[in-house]
Structure 1
Amino acid sequence: MEAMKVFSSVIGYLKDHMWTTCKSQLSDIQDSDITWVLTVPAIWNDSSKQFMREAAEKVGICANKLIIALEPEAASLYCMHQPIQKNTENSIFGVFKSGAKYMVVDAGGGTIDITVHEVQENGKIKELHKANGGDWGGTKVDESFKSLLADIVGHDVMGAFGSIHKYDFLEFLTDFEVKKRTIYPNLAEKVTFKVPISLLETYRETNPRCNIKTAITSNPKYENKLTWTGDKLRMDAELTKALFDESCKKLVDHLKQLFMHSTVKDVPSILLVGGFAESPMLQMAVKQAFKTKKVIVPQDAGLAVLKGAVLYGREPKTISARVCKYTYGVAMSKIFDSAIHLESKKIICNGVEHCNNLFDIHVRVGQLVKVGEPQVSQSYSVVKPDQTEIDFEIYISNNKDPTYTTEKGCTYLGKLTFNLPDTTKGMGRGAHVHMTFSGTEIVVTAVDKDDPEKVVSTTVDFLG
């Protein structure tokens, strides 16, 4: 099934459920009364954010009533309103005083999303380091458990179980999700997991001459550490805790790298939020690795993003500045200069040699940009006297100073077309272009050089 259909169906269900609830409590509520906030991981790229926006619009959520919020930012807003730190007099106050710096680690199911914030004097938040993270969330622990089972029964059996007994498979994952939150670092006794009997039956059907006990005892990794009877799987404490090793290690290693950056090394607090943050194993791994840092797990850590999204919808300008994840710019051509331009980039336009595919930088990776304020304005002109439009092709790069849009690390995002139908003014025609990158979505604006009233503003089509 197409991803767009799946995502829009889920959003549509949630929208209808919420709308029904509102109608039962507020009979006169209108569509226009509701602002919808859709949260996404901060490490998602621009095309993924646009995908989510289009999925929401497909089920009737109006574009101008929809806000895309970054999950760790939403969590940060929620935590700003929580009394979660005590001072020396033992009185409770918010951790986020003016000038306070902290790292938000949003540990969800799929991704772990990290941002670094500083509280400004006006109570707003400034991002200190670009959003980062990886796919080391709680589902990595699920994968470790499934891999352990596959190691015993075989990957073919696990595959058949997942495809034939779908409901049992989902129930199995749900049971494990609940169980894994009860695993503590000081666990000493064996842990019993519920495993659907259909998995054992699938194993017997595939291996009629084998039994599960032999499969376990013949594997030195599990002998005397694991027993499996019917729908009960009992595992040694150390074997159980080892399921968290990969996820916790990858997060800790990544955080250690982050704290080596000059903008991050003096950050004193780590804020753990998200569903996976409620895992005692993850909490202990972070606390042991960063003993000099204050590790804070707020109440309702799993709901921090949801509740923060409501606050963000009420006051989206609480985030005052963000750090660019990429270098953004526009593809352009200039008069060819053999001293600085590659010969392979030379093109002839109207009898004049031009250098093509130049990356004209608007903002650089790591640059701090203020929310809602357009960035540097760049001017572009037509290259032909009869040209009636200019296409502004938007590119990103992982590099700080890319020269050409064709370099490694450069990616085409989309384009904005600006119409210039009056050719009587010849080659002097063109537009001033600026981009607003600091929002959760990018807005590109072009203004006619000769007519300041003629403005074209659009969000870039990243999926086109």
Structure 2
Amino acid sequence: MSDSVASMDIEPSETHLVAAIDFGTTYSGYAYSTKDDYEKDKLKISPMEWKSPIMISLKTPTTVLLGPNKEFVAFGYDAESRYTKLAENDDHKDYFYFRRFKMVLYNEIRKSEKLTLKTTIPDINDKRLPAIDIFSHAIEYLQKHLLNDLNSRGTGITNPEEIYWVLTVPAIWDDAAKQFMREAAKKANIPGENLTIALEPEAASIYCKHLSLEKGDGDEGFKVFQEGSRYLVLDAGGGTVDITLHEIQKDGKIKELEQASGGAWGGTYVDQAFYDILEDLLGKQHFERYQRDYAADLMEIYSEFEHKKRGLESVTDETTCARNISLTIPLSLKHFYKSTFDKDIEHSSGEGFVWCQDKLRISCQRFSDLFDVACTGIVNHIEKLLNLPRAEGTNTILMVGGFSESLYLQNKIKDSFKHIKIVVPIQAGLAVLKGAVLFGHDPSAISVRVARYTYGVNTCVKFDRRCHPQSKQVKIDDSWYCKGVFSKHVQKGDVIEIDKATEDHPYVPIHRDQKSISFKIFTSSEDDPKYTDDESCKYLGSLEVDISGLQRESEKSVRLKFIFGGTEFKVVGKIEDTDKEVDVKFQFLEDNPRVFDEENVCIDD
């Protein structure tokens, strides 16, 4: 990050309004509340209403349409509608259509293991553009949409600087992904000092806690938010699923008991299982051709499946499963199949599904099988967390996120955890969005978090042949050192209070004329890694401490403190002799991880 970390955030009270953007895999939206409204009624939060061709909803599809010259054309329902019309007239092939690109980015990161500002993502036709551009287009559109709405209401708020912005991210996203969202917002002209990042399950937890206060402690469903209560938050979105454990403290604030974890078990996992049926039917190459040539019809198939998916409750429900689930399929698919394989599509009927004219009839059991991989992953992970010592006393599962509105998933969780109370708030899909607004007004609502990884920096120490491997011995000036030592600042699982610094470490530069001290930051899944090239270690980014203004030799020792309690960690550097703070800059999104000259690496003093 190019700015000094210590000055990352401003107080929300300095702005007139807090606005949150919930960037979902499938749907996105924004909501806001003024400072006055928050003080009078914390739940007076205004989400935007979006008009689709058939309904009004509180979120719009996470879809971006760019023109042939990569210029922004449309977002959300408007992007879907315009692309469909282009496809119907066969004018779509030069356009760029990005659908559910948050999950696409997540998958790209998993493949490359490194997110940079040059990371690209494919559109629906596999044409790639920089991910940062697509995300910034979406954020800029939502930002301008809000400002236009506020202007039409006569609020007098006309520019982003008057708004404190909150962007939501999955809790399982790493620090590089959080910085990526911050950089995308900056590219969309949201001032960095007016922006904070909110973790999705935490935001939902904050909202439900306030909701329970409004409903009163007499409501059985929300007794979970009494002092000392422990509950599991299941944030099931369209793409990823975040699961964590929370406890209500004496002061009413929320304490994280276990670091957030989860996986790619969201609603789109169910969609992909259905798309696999179509791909198996046509073969990968022919399915990709159908996507290109019949884009409008493919979108119709997606829409039809989404509607049927939301209606499934369980395979044991006699009303739901008395008949096959029937999906209307465009005739173009039948014609495409006939021209490609020289036989009717009815001949491809398989176990649990039958093609009949313009219908695909799927048995209830086969349809429910589409849910099983996602639901099994969620259930197994919850069981694992509930068996942890920190989970003792947890007697409630709070289900939030769009996928949590699925009756099938709700019934699966209830059947799997009969001894635990299951709470699903009204409009569970809006819990994250509204909670993010509340978090923007009061970031201290979460007071304690748990470190997901062990964090440290790359250093050199005096070589000791009794404990250091010969392969790491390096001569610097006239002395021998061990290179690549992991200097630990926080350990995985450590319970960290918000904005409380970890124990600081002293470092000194190697050369007297050095103008800065450079570090590599690493994370580890192990508690106590020895070297930064251990198998458990992952390079996170670079950190640079400016010491150009220092003159005396005795001033050159720098104490480095990491502050991990926030959603984005901070770093503070101080001169040991004078206690003077110095600028600290870090970068997690380097195009090429910087290769440090060993002679420029600081020595752990």
With the shorter chain as reference, the TM-score category is over 0.9
Given that 1:359 and 1:404 are in contact with CA atoms closer than 8 Å, whether structure 2 keeps it comes out as: yes
2:325 aligned residue (191, 210, 217)? 191
Instruction: Determine the structure 2 residue equivalent to 1:296.
Output: 423
Gaps of 5+ in 1: none
* 2:308 counterpart of 1:179: yes
Instruction: Determine the structure 1 residue equivalent to 2:135.
Output: 7
Q: Which stretch shows the higher mean deviation, 410-419 or 81-90?
A: 81-90
Whichever residue aligns with residue 155 of structure 1, its letter is K
1:181 is paired with a residue whose SS is helix
- The C-alpha deviation readout for 1:352-383, integer Å capped at 9, x for no partner, is 11111111100001111111111111111123
Structure 2 counterparts to residues 216-231 of structure 1, below 5 A: 216=349, 219=350, 221-222=351-352, 225-230=353-358
Given that 1:104 and 1:272 are in contact with CA atoms closer than 8 Å, whether structure 2 keeps it comes out as: yes
Given that 2:221 and 2:423 are in contact with CA atoms closer than 8 Å, whether structure 1 keeps it comes out as: no
What CA distance in whole angstroms lies between the structure 2 residues aligned with 1:96 and 1:298? 13
Instruction: Determine the structure 1 residue equivalent to 2:69.
Output: none
- Alignment CA distance shift 1:12-1:228 (3 Å): farther
- Alignment CA distance shift 1:145-1:92 (3 Å): closer
How well do the aligned residues superpose, as a CA RMSD in angstroms?
2.1
2:346 aligned residue (177, 194, 213)? 213
* 2:152 counterpart of 1:18: no
- Alignment CA distance shift 1:302-1:19 (3 Å): same
Instruction: Determine the structure 1 residue equivalent to 2:562.
Output: 435
- The C-alpha deviation readout for 1:168-190, integer Å capped at 9, x for no partner, is 22232122222211011112222
Given that 1:107 and 1:277 are in contact with CA atoms closer than 8 Å, whether structure 2 keeps it comes out as: yes
Given that 1:386 and 1:426 are in contact with CA atoms closer than 8 Å, whether structure 2 keeps it comes out as: no
Deviation at 1:26? 3.0
Structure 2 counterparts to residues 331-410 of structure 1, below 5 A: 331-410=458-537
Structure 2 counterparts to residues 30-109 of structure 1, below 5 A: 30-31=158-159, 32-83=161-212, 94-109=223-238
1:35 is paired with a residue whose SS is strand
Given that 1:226 and 1:233 are in contact with CA atoms closer than 8 Å, whether structure 2 keeps it comes out as: yes
TM-score, with normalisation over the residues of structure 2?
0.72
What CA distance in whole angstroms lies between the structure 2 residues aligned with 1:330 and 1:300? 43
* 2:387 counterpart of 1:254: no
- Alignment CA distance shift 1:64-1:90 (3 Å): closer
Identity within the alignment, %: 39
Given that 2:450 and 2:496 are in contact with CA atoms closer than 8 Å, whether structure 1 keeps it comes out as: yes
- The C-alpha deviation readout for 1:395-441, integer Å capped at 9, x for no partner, is 11111100111111212222232233477633762111101111111
Deviation at 1:45? 0.9
What CA distance in whole angstroms lies between the structure 2 residues aligned with 1:170 and 1:329? 47
* 2:167 counterpart of 1:167: no
What CA distance in whole angstroms lies between the structure 2 residues aligned with 1:236 and 1:84? 44
2:274 aligned residue (140, 145, 149)? 145
Q: Which stretch shows the higher mean deviation, 182-191 or 311-320?
A: 182-191
Q: Which stretch shows the higher mean deviation, 163-172 or 269-278?
A: 163-172
- Alignment CA distance shift 1:149-1:389 (3 Å): closer
2:289 is paired with a residue whose SS is helix
Q: Which stretch shows the higher mean deviation, 14-23 or 420-429?
A: 420-429
TM-score, with normalisation over the residues of structure 1?
0.93
Give the length in aligned residue pairs.
456
- Alignment CA distance shift 1:170-1:334 (3 Å): same
Given that 1:158 and 1:199 are in contact with CA atoms closer than 8 Å, whether structure 2 keeps it comes out as: no
Instruction: Determine the structure 1 residue equivalent to 2:245.
Output: 116
Deviation at 1:84? 9.6
Q: Which stretch shows the higher mean deviation, 432-441 or 85-94?
A: 85-94
* 2:547 counterpart of 1:420: yes
What CA distance in whole angstroms lies between the structure 2 residues aligned with 1:60 and 1:171? 35
- Alignment CA distance shift 1:427-1:164 (3 Å): farther
Given that 1:110 and 1:135 are in contact with CA atoms closer than 8 Å, whether structure 2 keeps it comes out as: yes
Whichever residue aligns with residue 95 of structure 1, its letter is V
Deviation at 1:68? 0.7
